[in-house]
């Protein structure tokens, strides 16, 4: 469990740092004065300053923040947040979630790059299997099995699985030459039809990034769809987990290996990006909503009123967190 806590702290700190760093670099980019960049909450452990900004590491790895001049109070500083144009404020507000979104893409891309892509080129020919007797060799690119055109390893597997008879005709490209071979077919312990070959694994940065983007988009749609179900009353609060539940899940994933932990980190990062952009007080999405309202209504909602609404939102979020902790303890610890 000790190693699990280390993994959990690393994941939480990394993703919170990424989120707050997004706000930080966006604020600097549009000329907002940053008073403090803090990782963690509670008593300060390390403080150091460079220029106008104080950097700090605090005792509890449960959050972090960027203290912007004029974000929570009025300020006469020309570089304060409250004196910036609405579009500049919006950039600062959404930057944290954008960074979490980018982090999700990068983590998934790294996972895919490490694992690699299967291809329709043979990687290994197993000794004693029909493929060896047929004369298939590593490096052969399979382009046809019987009458089926082959373009991927999935095509190879599915075509063999659907084939009938004791042999299959396999057309390959070897050293630029097209060769037709006949191979026998056997079955593995599950009854699947095989000939004893494995795929050559390809590692491509570009394809990994494309997969990272596509997978992140697919996961985003799933999460938004689930949130819609939850708000419509079609979901269940029991499906949600808090910090205790996340640590328990990390513990389970840690037993399976670092790839599974990295995949979980990507999911948590995407959750942070989406949840933070919900139009709820105290969240980045709530702040963006007030920016839009003020853009059309001016000062109808004062800074003081907005601050009180965000404070109420914080109290509600704390209440939700307490509820999730109690639910997690009952589900993951007591049971």
Q: What DSSP letter does each residue of 274-315 carry, written as one string? A: HHHTSS-TTSHHHHHHHHHHHHHHTTSS-HHHHHHHHHHHHH
Contact 294, 86 (CB under 8 A): yes
Is the dihedral angle over the CA atoms 113, 117, 122, 124 positive or is it negative? Answer: positive
User: What is the CB neighbour count within 10 angstroms for residue 169?
Assistant: 15
Q: What DSSP letter does each residue of 156-215 carry, written as one string? A: HHHHHHH--SSEEEEEEEETTEEEEEEEE-EE-TT--EE-SEEEEEE--HHHHHHHHHHH
Say which of 20, 69, 71, 306 is annotated catalytic: 20
* Annotated catalytic residue 20: yes
Q: Is 192 exposed, middle or buried (0-12, 13-18, 19+ CB in 10 A)?
A: exposed
Per DSSP, which regions of 85-153 are E strands?
117-125, 141-145, 148-149
The catalytic site residues sit at 20
């Amino acid at each position: 469990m000790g190693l699990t806590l280390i993994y959990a702290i690393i994941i939480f700190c990394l993703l919170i740092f990424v989120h707050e760093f997004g706000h930080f670099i966006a604020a600097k980019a549009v000329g907002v004065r940053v008073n403090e960049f803090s990782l963690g909450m509670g008593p300060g452990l390390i403080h150091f300053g460079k220029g106008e900004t104080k950097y700090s590491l605090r005792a509890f790895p449960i959050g972090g923040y960027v203290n912007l001049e004029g974000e929570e109070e009025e300020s006469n500083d020309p570089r304060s947040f409250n004196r910036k144009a609405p579009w500049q404020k919006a950039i600062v507000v959404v930057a944290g979630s954008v960074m979490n979104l980018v982090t999700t893409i990068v983590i998934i891309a790294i996972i895919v790059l490490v694992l690699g892509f299967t291809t329709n080129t043979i990687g290994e020919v197993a000794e004693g299997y029909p493929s060896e007797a047929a004369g298939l060799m590593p490096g052969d690119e399979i382009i046809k099995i019987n009458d089926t055109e082959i373009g991927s390893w999935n095509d190879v597997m599915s075509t063999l699985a659907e084939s009938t008879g004791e042999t299959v005709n396999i057309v390959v490209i070897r050293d630029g030459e097209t060769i037709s071979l006949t191979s026998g077919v056997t079955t593995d312990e599950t009854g699947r039809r095989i000939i004893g070959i494995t795929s050559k694994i390809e590692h491509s940065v570009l394809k990994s990034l494309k997969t990272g983007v596509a997978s992140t988009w697919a996961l985003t749609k799933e999460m938004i769809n689930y949130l819609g179900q939850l708000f419509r009353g079609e979901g269940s609060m029991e499906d949600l987990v808090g910090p205790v539940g996340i640590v328990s899940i990390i513990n389970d994933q840690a037993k399976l290996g670092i790839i599974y932990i990295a995949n979980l980190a990507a999911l948590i990062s995407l959750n942070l990006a989406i949840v933070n952009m919900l139009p709820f007080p105290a969240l980045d999405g709530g702040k963006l909503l007030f920016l839009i309202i003020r853009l059309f209504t001016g000062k109808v909602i004062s800074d003081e009123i907005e601050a009180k609404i965000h404070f109420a939102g914080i109290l509600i979020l704390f209440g939700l967190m307490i509820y999730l902790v109690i639910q997690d303890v009952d589900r993951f610890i007591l049971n």
